[in-house]
Amino acid sequence: MRQKIVAGNWKMNKSFQEAEDLLDEILEIMEEEKGENPQMVICTPFPYLELATDMMDEFHPKIGAQNVCEFENGAYTGEISANMLNSVGVEYCIIGHSERRKYYAENSGSLVKKLDLLLNEGITPIFCCGEVLEEREADKHFDIVRAQVEEALFHLNSDEIRNVVIAYEPVWAIGTGKTATSAQAQEMHAYIRALLNVKYSKDISEEITILYGGSCNAKNARELFSNPDVDGGLIGGASLKAEDFFKIYKSF
Ligand code: PEP
């Protein structure tokens, strides 16, 4: 279901105590916000997921993980399965983030498996796609994003794709302070929606939530979110301070 979403990606930041304090602050600010539209999602590091899900009630932010293992269970030392995430109350999971594609060789082959496992567990995947700077400068950004979307997502049937959130994150904008312009974001989001229209249907393409990510902050969120095909944001750095994150959340 298409929904306004602001999702925070804490990445590998915060001690346990700092995580608890930040969650407390967010909950305090969110006290008056009983509602699911926009939906706030907080993607914490693995060790804090259970703490986070325990702290939320049904009206509060949903909790997400930042990765999941591509295998179901068994001898995969150091990995975390989709079933484990479900068992501690996780409802969203980021996959295909550019940092994982770059440092951990995440590719469409493993993403297909991760998507299937997450959907089987009823966890909403937040699937990230986006081009690097050289690809944009060479005017290949549409081709790159099309390939990422087609290769990872298009094995899903119409019912399954409805349960996926897509995050367009131009890699050159992540953690750089260099945000895509509102027009660049809208153009790519509309393009992704058009791909979904061709593969599935107009109705399905209109049902899918597409987030923008890349140096989105309290100052630029309102303009980015005002675009018809931008349904919210995936927020890195600015999700680490409760006030900033809340301002972004209120930017629709
Ligand atoms: C991200 O990590 O997904 C991200 C968008 O980071 P930042 O907001 O810091 O650019």
Whether residue 22 has pLDDT greater than 80: yes
Task: Please give the number of the atom of ligand 1 that sits closest to the Cα of 216.
Answer: 8
Q: Say what percent of the chain tops pLDDT 90.
A: 93
Q: What is the dihedral of CA 34, 126, 122, 105, to 10 degrees?
A: -150
Could you tell which of 169, 220, 245, 251 is best to mutate to test the pocket of ligand 1, judged by most ligand atoms within 8 Å of the CB?
169
3-state secondary structure of 54: helix
Mean pLDDT, residues 154-176: 97
Residues 112-138: pLDDT tens digits? Answer: 999 999 999 999 999 999 999 999 999
Task: Please give the number of the atom of ligand 1 that sits closest to the Cα of 233.
Answer: 5
Residues 224-235: pLDDT tens digits? Answer: 999 999 999 999
User: Which pair of structure tokens corresponds to residue 23?
Assistant: 């969650």
**76 CA to centre of ligand 1 in angstroms:** 28
Read off the amino acid at residue 236: G
Residues 5-20: pLDDT tens digits? Answer: 999 999 999 999 999 9
| Cβ(169) – ligand 1 distance below 6 Å | yes
| Cβ(188) – ligand 1 distance below 6 Å | no
- Structure letter (DSSP) for residue 121: T
Mean pLDDT, residues 168-181: 93
Rounded CA gap, 48 and 73, in Å? Answer: 21
| Cβ(235) – ligand 1 distance below 6 Å | yes
Task: Please give the number of the atom of ligand 1 that sits closest to the Cα of 217.
Answer: 8
Q: Whose CA is nearest to atom 1 of ligand 1?
A: 236
Task: Please give the number of the atom of ligand 1 that sits closest to the Cα of 128.
Answer: 3
Whether residue 107 has pLDDT greater than 80: yes
> What sections of the chain are H helices per DSSP?
16-30, 49-55, 82-87, 98-103, 108-120, 133-137, 141-153, 158-161, 182-199, 202-207, 221-225, 242-249
Q: Whose CA is nearest to atom 2 of ligand 1?
A: 236
| Cβ(175) – ligand 1 distance below 6 Å | yes
The backbone torsions φ and ψ at residue 132, rounded to the nearest 5 degrees and listed phi first, read: -85, 170
User: Which pair of structure tokens corresponds to residue 242?
Assistant: 């409760």
Read off the amino acid at residue 37: N
Question: Do 26 and 61 touch, CB atoms closer than 8 A?
Answer: yes
How many alpha carbons fall within 13 Å on the CB side of residue 16? Answer: 4
| Cβ(93) – ligand 1 distance below 6 Å | no
- Whole-number pLDDT of residue 35: 63
User: Which pair of structure tokens corresponds to residue 46?
Assistant: 């693995």
Task: Enumerate the active-site residues.
Answer: 97, 169
Q: Whose CA is nearest to atom 4 of ligand 1?
A: 236
Q: Hey, what domains does the chain have and what are their CATH numbers?
A: 5-249 (3.20.20.70)
**Residue listed under structure tokens 């399965």:** 81
**Could you write out the DSSP letters of every residue in 216-249?**
--TTTHHHHHTSTT--EEEESGGGSSHHHHHHHH
Q: Whose CA is nearest to atom 6 of ligand 1?
A: 236
Average pLDDT score, the chain: 96
